[in-house]
Amino acid sequence: MKIVLKAPAKINLFLEITAKRPDGYHNLETVMQTISLCDELSVEDLGAADTRIILECSSKELPVDEGNIVYRAAQALKKFYNINRGARIFLKKEIPTGAGLGGGSSDAAAAIKGLAGIWNIKAEKNDLEKIAAELGADVPFFLTGGTALCEGKGEIVTPLPPIARMPVILANPGFGVATPSVYKKVTFPLTKPRKIHKITRLICRGSFNGQNASDYCFNRLEEFVFPDYPQIAEIKSVLTELGCASLMSGSGATVFGILGSESQSETIKSKLQEYHWKTWAVVPAG
């Protein structure tokens, strides 16, 4: 049996840090949205005669053992349900690593869903969420995707109504940013803490769009990333000047711009060609 799944990237429409936790992590409030840029996982059952997890990847830069979250996801699922079967997983990467787009977390969630399918696991949603949360804070969100309010470390997920299918431009400077190094720079008290209820209320009303996004989108981590990575700040500045509601996603390095129309998307992509950035034209996806 073989299953092929898409593992979508995400952007953070809002991200505020609310406190530092005793375990060293941070509590946050964020609105995450999956988008049409995806990795792809092929998951194949090896049967009872071969209990190995065999991970292959299109990117030779990524490990294919315990150093890869997809491999750890497979191990965690096997252990939790006492599965005595193996699987071959092929990961086709399209989402850049260290980009603030959640590629690894999405891959792990897709692996959990795919393996549960090929191993015929009658899984309770709460159990899969528990496994996902132990792998990474963003993994539970990707079990369902779409639009969601995420709290705690990010693992407390409340689905929101889907936002409109508006055009979005992603721009990446060609390097990654290590998330732990960014959070180490977060200091309290924060300047002018932002409340998330304004954007969640707008989304629930179905009124969030490219015209008002700049008034409601926010990412606290920009102030801790931009001083060390001026290239990322430059991307935001350029997208803003081109008329986008622009924001860094997660802890960087990707910046996204929300546009008002498809025609604007083509114009902006054309203007961005003079820069040496990797760009994608995407849309929100559920």
**Among 10, 78, 113, 236, which one carries the catalytic annotation?**
10
Exposed, middle or buried, 15 (CB in 10 Å: 0-12/13-18/19+)? buried
End-to-end alpha-carbon separation of the chain, Å? Answer: 26
**Among 39, 45, 107, 138, which one carries the catalytic annotation?**
138
Q: Among this protein's residues, is 138 annotated catalytic?
A: yes
How far, in Å, CA of 165 to CA of 249, rounded? 18
Q: Among this protein's residues, is 10 annotated catalytic?
A: yes
The kind and range of the H/E element at 86 are strand 86-92
**3-class DSSP string for 197-241:** HHHHHHHHCCCCCCCCHHHHCEECCHHHHCCCCHHHHHHHHHHHH
Rounded to the nearest 5°, which phi and psi values hold at 261?
-160, 160
Active centre residues (catalytic): 10, 138
